[in-house]
A and B are shown apart, each in its own frame.
Chain A
Amino acid sequence: MAIDKFPVEATHIMMFARAIGDTNPIYSDAEYAKGTEVGAVIAPPTFVQASAQFDDQYPLRPMPGKPWFGSGKEATGLRKDPKGDGGGSGGGNGGGLHAEQHYEYHRPLRAGEVLTATNLALKTWEKEGRRGGKLLFSETTTEYRTVAGELVVTARGVGVRTEKVVESK
């Protein structure tokens, strides 16, 4: 994921704060925010996750004209694998789960700023699962910078998925 332009907009912040049930006016009221230390509407600590909205290739957003793996007429929108194991192809069962998320805040992120997001090298490792099968971990570090290059937030996420157990013959 690389995002060239992540506009941090006040309305988006308001909707995000509503979604996490946070009624702090610093996330919605510009007049109130003027009189505070930060001086403007700021983004809640986990807001940069919403940069996914500005990722052209984000796989967890349905795209017009492209198959989607959620349900429509069928429980999965993807055609069944002709080899017949019942699973969809590609995204399959919804992908992995989120195992960890860490943020470093270099300064408050304010409404009206425009950021870029750049992924640093991906790390992967494996662990034996408790119920058999491998657990595949992947860690991504993302730097959110202003267009001028100032680092605002560093995000590190760890995902985990189970490797499909391949039956031996």
Chain B
Amino acid sequence: MSLNASELKVGDSREVVVVDDLSRTQIVMYAGASGDYNPLHTDDKFTQEVAKYPSVFAHGMLSMGMTGRVLTDWVGDGRLTKYGVRFTKQVFPGATLTTTATVEAIRNEGGVNYADFMVVTKDQDGDAVITGTATARLD
């Protein structure tokens, strides 16, 4: 599954709900898989009483991982050459996140076709939690 440059044009866009009602358990799964056991993500007692946040919140990297799926489902496996984001808002349990990826440019560099994407993931309030860019190699 790979993408040909002729199948894409600037402005093409995909919107995907990457998580609906984010559970604390999914955050625990991410902690276990990634190895980031910061109690801010799994330990409400610590997070509320010591760190003074309203509750545990998701690892930024969980949101980045969920967002990345929209790109890899589109461009194909092993085709990303770059993927980078800024984390702009915390994501709390119960969040519903929607990712929009948009083609910004299609170019040829050294005989290889690439597409540049802009990516944004918004929460249920319409606020961006992640903004970023990615580049994929095309056929």
Contact = CB atoms under 8 A, between A and B. Distances in A.
Interface in B36-76: 36-40, 42-43, 45-52, 59-62, 64-66, 68-69, 71-73, 76
B37 A19 contact: no
Interface residues of B, number: 50
A19 B60 contact: no
Contact of A20 (B32, B37, B49, B66): B66
A70 B87 contact: no
Interface residues of A, number: 49
B65 A94 contact: no
Interface stretch (A21-29, A114-122, A140-148): A21-29
A62 B30 CA distance: 16
A71 B46 contact: yes
Interface string A27-70: 00000000011100010111001111101001011100000011
B1 interface: yes
Interface in A78-103: 87-88, 93-95, 97-103
Most buried by A among B68, B78, B81, B86: B78
Contacts of B52: 93
Nearest to B27: A19
A99 B87 contact: yes
Main secondary structure of the interface of A (DSSP, over half): loop
B35 A45 contact: no
A61 B72 CA distance: 30
Contact of A60 (B36, B64, B84): B36
Contacts of A103: 80, 82-84
A44 B85 CA distance: 16
Given A21-B18, A76-B50, A71 B39 contact: yes
B2 interface: yes
B29 interface: yes
A45 B64 CA distance: 9
A95 B26 CA distance: 22
Given A70-B39, A103-B82, A22 B65 contact: yes
A19 B32 contact: yes
A52 B82 contact: no
A115 to B, nearest CB: 15
Contact of B65 (A38, A42, A44, A100): A44
Nearest to A58: B35
A62 B36 CA distance: 10
A42 B77 CA distance: 8
18 contacts: A19-B30, A20-B30, A20-B62, A44-B69, A49-B61, A60-B35, A70-B37, A70-B46, A93-B51, A94-B39, A94-B51, A98-B60, A98-B61, A100-B84, A103-B80, A105-B82, A105-B83, A107-B78
Interface of B: 1-2, 18-19, 26, 29-30, 32-40, 42-43, 45-52, 59-62, 64-66, 68-69, 71-73, 76-78, 80-87, 90
